[in-house]
Structure 1
Amino acid sequence: MRPAECTSTPLTDEEEQRFRAVLFSELGNKVADQGWARFPAYTPEDRRRLVAVAHRLTAYWGQQVFVEAEDQTRVRLCLAGYEALPEASPGSRP
């Protein structure tokens, strides 16, 4: 384990606001384009941040953005109808 990975410095209020604004924009664009977006969430704070971004997107669009934990390190934001990620991409052969 590397020392830099053991500790993390909390973001200041301003840094947190900027980071959430970037997530809102980047993840919002991806969700708008493909119906869902995946993002790493290694800590409870990461997950809370992504839930807050999903709530902001829901309020902004007037359409529910769901939050799903894919595993212990990834969260998925998606619109209704995109809750279950297909195993193969559309148009691919089984």
Structure 2
Amino acid sequence: MTRDLRNVRHQPAPDAPTPLSAEEEARYRNLLFTELGNKIADDGWARYPAHTPEERRRLIEVAARLTAHWGQQVFIEPEDQTRFRLCLAGHQTLPS
């Protein structure tokens, strides 16, 4: 028996995250821009989890947007395998 395999789609694993729509992605990046921007403005630095390559790309894009918005470099550096640190110059060493 031959099966018709047209319109077959790859299904993610049950526990895998589903991709965000373009609108959801834009809203999430705007939220990160606001929340991380406020934290960095208050403390000079912020840390945020980034477990996947997509989450890392979001944080890199947010750091670039903050740099353009403020006119000063927002540095981004991995703290470990799951967290990134965004900071302004002078706050590049870990707080005690």
Q: Are 1:7 and 2:16 matched, yes or no? A: yes
Which structure features the higher share of helix residues?
Answer: 1
* Paired residues, number: 84
**One-letter code of the match for 2:16?**
T
State the one-letter code of the partner of 1:83: Q
Q: Structure 2: any 5+ residue segments left out of the alignment?
A: 1-12
The yes-or-no answer on 1:36 pairing with 2:45 is: yes
Given the alignment of the two structures, is residue 47 of structure 1 paired with residue 59 of structure 2, yes or no? no
Q: CA RMSD in A?
A: 1.1
Cα distance in 1 for partners of 2:38, 2:59 equals: 14
1:2-60 CA distance string (max 9 Å, x none)? x76x3110100000000000000000000000000000000010000000000000000
TM-score (norm 1): 0.86
> TM-score when scaled to structure 2?
0.84
Shift of 1:71: 0.5
Q: What runs of 5+ residues in structure 1 fail to find an aligned partner? A: 89-94
Runs of 4 or more consecutive aligned structure 1 residues displaced over 3 Å after TM superposition: none
* Alignment pair present for 1:83 and 2:54: no
Identity of aligned residues (%): 67
